[in-house]
Amino acid sequence: MKQKVTVVGAGNVGATAAQRLAEKELCDVIVVDIIEGVPQGKSLDLTQAAPIEKHDAHLTGANSYEASANSDIVIITAGIPRKPGMSRDDLLSTNRGIIRSVTKEVVKYSPNAILIIVSNPLDAMCHVAMEESGFPKHKVIGMAGVLDSARFRAFISMELSVSVENIHALVMGGHGDTMVPLPRFSTVAGVPITELIPATRIEEMVTRTRNGGAEIVSLLKTGSAYYAPASAAVEMAESILKDKKKILPCAAYLTGEYGISDLFVGVPVKLGAKGIEQIIELKLSAEEQQALKKSASAVQELVDAMKKMA
């Protein structure tokens, strides 16, 4: 295949992302991880599944970044996952160091790649990747809104007993407790959910969406979500690789949009071959705008905390 995607991190999210990329036959896949044998073993296992799944994507596992050279996209999942009782913010210091070293290596071998960041705390790690890479803002994108919106869509589907394919939902803001699910922009076959579900029930679903990751962490007890995060990252990669120009909520570096500057915040963007090709500015109500600014402030606190570590 002509297109090439590197997944950094062969843990649950990374390995599942590699599987989705290969089975959709989107590209050849390189899996990089520091643990000897793990990326090689998982790549070989996925390669042996290829005859059954009927795809011809090539998968390669490696412990160094030479194999990743000239990647079109690099999906960064490396870092420690959340454990029960931990917030995404607790990961800040450890994962900051990991993302800095990973990004440095990635850029050395793939200076023209587009970066999709999955590691938590997501919005803050996007800042680290952009600063370390020196890439323009349209080439560093955070995976958060696609995942959070998918969770909201799943809960809407469960509530109304309708196909998930009929549902569009929008979640903006930082990837954390202050995220902003927007019922007004969430629809079932074009009908706003505000006309289909009582306000009190919608609020419960909004709360569950905000706590979607923590709910899974508490159930698993020994790890965090990985199927849906991997699917979200791959949907973003597919829109870029195929130049589909999908409108997806992603963590993007804002320079005045929504009244927010110099910060990665989840907003609707158009994703195409160049990465973020347009930031979509919606007319938010005063209440929605206030919630978004509150979420942005939480991201700013993390960025400020990182500056103190420097």
Q: Are strands 180-181 and 171-172 parallel, antiparallel or unpaired?
A: antiparallel
The contacts of residue 269 (CB under 8 Å, 6+ apart) are 141, 247, 248, 249, 250, 252, 276, 277, 278, 279, 280
| Catalytic residue IDs | 175
Helices (H), the chain: 12-23, 38-53, 92-109, 122-133, 145-160, 199-210, 212-220, 227-241, 286-309
Q: 242-249 long-range CB contacts below 8 Å, 24 or more apart?
A: 242/26, 243/272, 243/273, 244/271, 244/272, 245/270, 245/271, 245/272, 245/277, 246/270, 246/271, 247/271, 247/280, 248/145, 248/146, 249/144, 249/145, 249/146, 249/148, 249/149, 249/170, 249/171, 249/172
The contacts of residue 241 (CB under 8 Å, 6+ apart) are 3, 5, 26, 27, 72, 73, 273
Residue type, 150: A
User: Distance between CA atoms of 307 and 310, rounded to whole angstroms?
Assistant: 5
